[in-house]
Amino acid sequence: MKPEAFDPETGEIIEERAADGGRRYPAATTMTDLVAMLNDGAFNQNCADKLQSFSADMEERGVDTGKKVKGKITLTIEVEREHDGVYFFTPDLQFKLPPEKVSRTIGWVTEDNRFTPNKPGQGNLFGTIREITVDARTVRGA
């Protein structure tokens, strides 16, 4: 068994192995390391399904509109330091989809202040009630 390394300036023992012989998790040097460290890796794993759902939603909206769509993923990590030097990390991941485009409806106001789709003083060529059907289309797999 090799002797443990130590920091010559502080004398701190730098252990590479845990008491059970398993590898210790290395200190985070990149954002990827930090995200992998959160909740012992469970945060990263739990985000996988949310990320896949977000990408499916983006794809569906892009296909449905035939236009560019723009979403947003925001990772927030609340970092709290206790007086004794212990840190607590609280992660949160938010997905923001672009708002769905909704068509406008033209309307007017009647003499007694009620909204109407009928222009005052103008007749109609067609009846006011019409049936609307929408073809169902889905991008997600079954």
**Domain-wise residue ranges, the chain:** 5-100
pLDDT tens readout for residues 76-101? 999 999 999 999 999 999 999 988 77
What percent of the chain is helix, strand and coil (3-state, nearest 5)? Answer: 25, 20, 55
pLDDT tens readout for residues 14-43? 777 777 877 777 788 899 999 999 998 899
The pLDDT of residue 3 is 52
Helix (H) or strand (E) holding 60: helix 42-65
Q: What is the mean pLDDT of residues 44-72?
A: 92
